[in-house]
Structure formats: C-alpha cells, structure tokens
Amino acid sequence: MAFRDLSLGVIGGGAMAEALIAGILHQQLYLPEQIAVSEPQATRRAHWVERYGVRTTDCNQDVTAAVWLLLAIKPQVFLEVAGSLTLPLGARGVVSILAGVSLATLTKTFVDTPVVRAMPNTPALVGAGITALAAGDGVTHVQLNQVEAIFQAVGQVVRVPESSLDAVTGLSGSGPAYVALMVEALMDGGVAAGLPRDLARQLVLATVSGSVQLMVQENLQPAQLKDRVTSPGGTTIAGLAVLEQAAVRGAFIAAVLKATARSRELGQN
C-alpha cells in the first residue's frame, strides 16, 4: 500500500541512495519517517531499517506519493521500472541520478511532473561530493532549491544546463578514478625511490589533500601553487620537466574528452 506523508521516496536502495540519505538524516533535512526506500533485496531493506530507521518496501509504487521521488536504480533497469509506475495525480517531482537518461525521456515518462537530473560523484559517500543539477521545464525556483538541499547534504552543488552533463560526467563523475590513478602512480614513484609503500601512501594522500586545501583556502590558481614550490634549478622543476615530456597534461585533457564522448554515446543507446 502506498506510503503517505513522504518527503522523499527512493527507488533503488543502493550505494548512492545510501550516501544521500545518510547525509540528509545527519543534516536533519528530513526525519527517517519522512523517507521511504523501495529495494528488491530483503537484506538491504533490513539494513535500511536498522541503520537509518526509514520506511522500506519491495514495491516501487509504494513510494511514489512523495514530495520528491528519487530514482537511484541502474540506468539499465530504468525502462522496466518506469513502465511499472503510475505517479499519483499532482505528484510533486522526480529527481533522477541515472547517467544517460535525458530530461526529454524523463518528461515523456512522467508527464506533467517536474523533473530534475542530478549527477553526483563517489566522494558523496563521505559527504565530500559535488553534484551537478539540470532542471526540466516548469521546475520552480522553490523546487530546485529543495533538490539542491538534498544534494547539499553530501557536498557541493552546481547548476548546469543539461548539455553540460556529459562533460560533468567525464570530469567530476569519472574524476575520482583519475585521482586514484594519479595517487597510485605517485605511490609507485615513492616506492621506486626507496620508501615503504605504506609511508608512500600516507605521504601522497596528505600531499594531494593538503595541496587541494591550499588552493581552495587561499583561492590559488594551480599555476600559482606550482610556481611557489618550483625554485630555480631545484628538484620540483626537474620532476615537472619529466611530466611535461611525457605529455601528462595532454593525457588528462584527452581522458576528460574521451569520457565525455563516452557519456554522450551511452546516453544515445
């Protein structure tokens, strides 16, 4: 039976839904009883109840009478799930975090209902994500502010036109993997230079996180930070010269372009 008085109905109780709801409850944006999660796996439903005290169901239709219906399933099951739903009259809005499902498709599926696409990234799991929002026609400022508040519970939020979402996916969506690859490579460098791996990991993580904090807190451009640590004839310029010879900059640019193109391609399937 459909739940009443819901602020947030969630379809798909997986990793990203959990990150969001943990953040929302931590920030006390909604109370547990205002949230319901529809999830096919009984063990996952039990986890949701024990850990967060939210309402759960295995019937997607049960959560549709919410102020916001959040789609957090894999894109591959979107058609099957959407085809089985009937939104109640006057449904207030649908938010989708599904990569590649366009506003046009959402609007066609949920007729006369405001729809918003959101592209969060994995650091949301520790409250340090960044989410890009693209709103469909007819979404009011008040509604968009509500959606923004949901995603602010797990980090920063930016608003973009839908045409930018593929680039966002290729940059901040895929970005954690690029950073992980860079961290791993630097660790290997430390090991090659004779450091134990654990120590190399600690040094790299603190260096990456500290450099980011420095750029954010002092509003420094990357070039300014680079120039500050690069003394004439010193160690850093020797290292940087090797990176430039290996065209690392060009490789990162090409990686973002390729990931953007792949996101666009997947969205057309």
CA distance 175 to 40: 30
- Which span sits near ligand NAP by CB under 6 A: 5-13, 23-31, 142-150, 184-192? 5-13
Number of C-beta neighbours around residue 102 at 10 A: 18
Asked whether the beta carbons of 153 and 126 are under 8 A apart, the reply is no
Regarding 95 and contact with ligand NAP (CB under 6 A), the answer is: no
CB of 134 to ligand NAP, least distance (A): 13
Kindly state whether residue 44 participates in binding ligand NAP, applying the rule CB under 6 A.
yes
Q: Could you tell me where the beta strands, DSSP code E, fall in the chain?
A: 6-11, 35-38, 55-57, 66-71, 94-96, 115-119, 129-135, 155-159
Q: At closest approach, how far in Å is the CB of 59 from ligand NAP?
A: 9
Interaction of residue 183 with ligand NAP, rule CB under 6 A: no
Residue nearest to ligand NAP (CB): 14
Q: Is 38 in the site for ligand NAP (CB under 6 A)?
A: yes
Q: CA–CA separation, 10 vs 8, rounded Å? A: 6
If one asks whether residue 11 binds ligand NAP (CB under 6 A), the answer comes out as yes
Query: Counting beta carbons within 10 angstroms of the beta carbon of residue 246, is it exposed (0 to 12), middle (13 to 18) or buried (19 or more)?
Result: exposed
Buried b (16+ CB within 10 A) or exposed e, 211-239: eeeeeeeeeeeeeeeeeeeeeeeeeeeee
18/12 Cα distance (integer angstroms)? 10
Residue position matching structure tokens 């944006």 = 29
12 forms part of the interface with ligand NAP (CB under 6 A):
yes
Does the protein bind ligand NAP through residue 97 (CB under 6 A)?
A: yes
Binding to ligand NAP (CB under 6 A): which residues in 60-79? 60, 72-75, 77
Minimum CB separation of residue 12 from ligand NAP in Å reads: 3
264 near ligand NAP, judged by CB under 6 A: no
* Residue in 105, 122, 143, 263 binding ligand NAP, rule: CB under 6 A: 122
Cα-based distances in Å from 148 to 9, 53, 158? 16, 23, 8
Binding segment for ligand NAP among 12-20, 158-166, 226-234, 256-264 (CB under 6 A)? 12-20
Q: Tell which one of 2, 67, 99, 240 touches ligand NAP (CB under 6 A).
A: 99
Q: Which residue, 7 or 121, is less far from ligand NAP as judged by CB? A: 121
Binding residues (CB under 6 A) for ligand NAP: these are 11-17, 38-41, 44, 60, 72-75, 77, 81, 97-99, 119-122, 173
